[in-house]
């Protein structure tokens, strides 16, 4: 039997009646776009995040693009982002009319390196987008100090970090705004695309809401040209159901991570570092091994699915060839990119499966 990398069906089976009921209610009410269910989820998620405002949008990429547009930075501003992230982060910067500046990451948390970000600051830098990658909060103390020193805005990409905390405070609340994705595979996932922006600024919330809804507040009162990126009612109702389970799921993920740590204690596998003052929510459990391709192949042969996040660093993609980077510009990322492998981690992963994964991986390493 295959151990999948992620098992969304198992999660659905566990909460089927709640989900089916929520979907049926939206259909009965025909509250398909914005409306009651979207507003309810926004209120609940703002409360969960302890932020004043939550604006539901179409997806996590749009959330980033919309908040960047709402900030109204000078066109062509340089915005620093980590090279180790999903392309959505850099896409949003470029789509919003700004210049992407990649920096390096820390070796074992894999999150943005404050020292590297500092080196990339120029007179045109206006913002930094830290990504709480794999569910691990970034060094927000270091970033806040850097942002203060240079007058930069911080927008947190929380797409992989629902419920993560730093000094006991939710990620997404340290900068001007935080953005979330509710893509199905995320820790809090819809049954389609959805996203949100959280902020304590009423002005930014209003502006984001207008941009996401054709530049209007009332039906045909368009103040400017916006776009169409709203949360749909079915996704919102599903997210409201799942939000009630999120903390229990996060605890279950953290327990899986703790089991892996115990099982790999004496091995040559490099485990992810957990920042001391942070609550890591383990969207992914990324380890480093020698001969990664052979290890992954061995696991696959033994019916264990794994992932690589990410196989090609953004600056090396064809999309960013024009920036002229080589991996020498990102020495820390260069040292791990060919060694990382993401192991299955999700609340439904059983003890039997965890042990099987650990045994098989140890065998793979021992046999090489
Ligand atoms: C998933 C993800 C996004 C984009 O979210 P979508 O909802 O798929 O648009 C942005 N940033 C990071 C780091 C992500 O993992």
CA angle 50, 54, 58 (to 5 degrees): 140
- Give the ligand 1 atom nearest the CA of 195: 7
Q: What kind and span of H or E run contains 138?
A: none
Q: pLDDT confidence of 367, banded at 50, 70, 90?
A: low
Ligand 1 centroid distance, CA of 16 (Å)? 26
Which tokens go with 108?
Answer: 């074992």
- Running DSSP on this structure, what letter comes out for residue 193? -
Q: What does the alpha-carbon distance between residue 66 and residue 77 come to, in Å, rounded to a whole number?
A: 16
Q: Is the CB of 155 under 6 A from ligand 1?
A: no
- Give the ligand 1 atom nearest the CA of 181: 7
pLDDT of residue 163: 98
Reference 88, options 301, 273, 258, 310; nearest CA is 310
Q: Are 67 and 157 in contact (CB under 8 A)?
A: no
* Closest Cα to atom 6 of ligand 1: 60
User: Helix, strand, or coil here: 274?
Assistant: coil
Which tokens go with 2?
Answer: 């295959």
Q: Is the pLDDT of residue 219 over 90?
A: no
Q: What kind and span of H or E run contains 238?
A: helix 233-263
Q: Are 50 and 163 in contact (CB under 8 A)?
A: no
User: Helix, strand, or coil here: 268?
Assistant: coil
Mean pLDDT of 214-221: 90
Reported as a single tens digit per residue, the pLDDT across 280-312 is: 999 999 999 999 999 999 999 999 999 999 999
pLDDT of residue 266: 87
Q: What does the alpha-carbon distance between residue 309 and residue 142 come to, in Å, rounded to a whole number?
A: 25
Q: Is the CB of 160 under 6 A from ligand 1?
A: yes
Mean pLDDT of 113-125: 98
Q: Is the CB of 264 under 6 A from ligand 1?
A: no
Q: Which of 60, 136, 137, 157, when mutated, tests ligand 1's pocket best, judged by the most ligand atoms within 8 Å of its CB?
A: 60
E-assigned strands of 104-152? Answer: 125-128
The mean predicted confidence, pLDDT, of the chain is 97
Q: Is 214 exposed, middle or buried (0-12, 13-18, 19+ CB in 10 A)?
A: middle
- Give the ligand 1 atom nearest the CA of 61: 9
pLDDT of residue 368: 54
User: Helix, strand, or coil here: 4?
Assistant: coil
pLDDT of residue 1: 85
Q: Which of 89, 96, 284, when mutated, tests ligand 1's pocket best, judged by the most ligand atoms within 8 Å of its CB?
A: 89
Cα of first residue to Cα of last residue in the chain, in angstroms, is 24
% of residues, the chain, pLDDT over 70: 99
Q: Is the pLDDT of residue 317 over 80?
A: yes
Q: In 10 A of CB 136, how many CB atoms?
A: 29
User: Helix, strand, or coil here: 124?
Assistant: coil
Residue found by looking up tokens 């914005």 in the block: 34
Reported as a single tens digit per residue, the pLDDT across 170-213 is: 999 999 999 999 999 999 999 999 999 999 999 999 999 999 99
């Amino acid at each position: 039997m295959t151990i999948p990398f992620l098992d969304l069906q198992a999660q659905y089976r566990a909460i089927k009646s709640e989900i089916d009921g929520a979907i049926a209610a939206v259909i009965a009410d025909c509250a398909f776009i914005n409306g009651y269910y979207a507003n309810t989820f926004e209120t609940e998620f703002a409360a969960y995040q302890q932020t004043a405002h939550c604006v539901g949008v179409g997806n996590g990429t749009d959330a980033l693009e919309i908040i960047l547009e709402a900030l109204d930075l000078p066109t062509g501003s340089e915005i620093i982002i980590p090279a180790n992230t999903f392309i959505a982060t850099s896409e949003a910067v470029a789509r919003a009319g700004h210049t992407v500046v990649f920096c390096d990451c820390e070796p074992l948390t894999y999150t943005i390196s404050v020292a590297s970000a500092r080196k990339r600051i120029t007179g045109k830098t206006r913002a930094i987008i830290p990504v709480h990658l794999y569910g691990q909060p970034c060094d927000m103390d270091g970033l806040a100090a850097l942002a203060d020193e240079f007058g930069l805005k911080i927008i947190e990409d929380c797409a992989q970090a629902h419920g993560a905390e730093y000094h006991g405070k939710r990620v997404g609340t340290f900068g001007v705004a935080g953005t979330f994705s509710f893509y199905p595979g995320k820790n809090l996932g819809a049954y389609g695309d959805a996203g949100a922006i959280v902020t304590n600024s009423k002005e930014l919330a209003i502006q984001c809401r207008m941009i996401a809804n054709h530049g209007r507040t009332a039906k045909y009162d368009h103040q400017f040209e916006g776009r169409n990126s709203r949360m749909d009612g079915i996704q919102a109702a599903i997210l409201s159901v799942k939000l009630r389970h999120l903390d229990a799921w996060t605890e279950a993920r953290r327990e899986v991570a703790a089991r892996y740590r115990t099982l790999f204690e004496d091995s040559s596998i490099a485990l992810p570092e957990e920042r001391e003052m942070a609550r890591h929510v383990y969207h992914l459990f990324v380890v480093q091994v020698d001969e990664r391709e052979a290890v992954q192949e061995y696991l696959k042969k033994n019916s264990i699915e794994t992932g690589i996040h990410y196989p090609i660093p953004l600056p090396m993609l064809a999309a960013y060839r024009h920036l002229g980077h080589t991996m020498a510009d990102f020495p820390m990322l260069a040292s791990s990119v060919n060694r990382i492998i993401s192991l299955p981690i999700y609340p439904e992963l059983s003890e039997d499966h965890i042990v099987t994964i650990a045994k098989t991986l140890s065998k793979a390493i021992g046999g090489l």
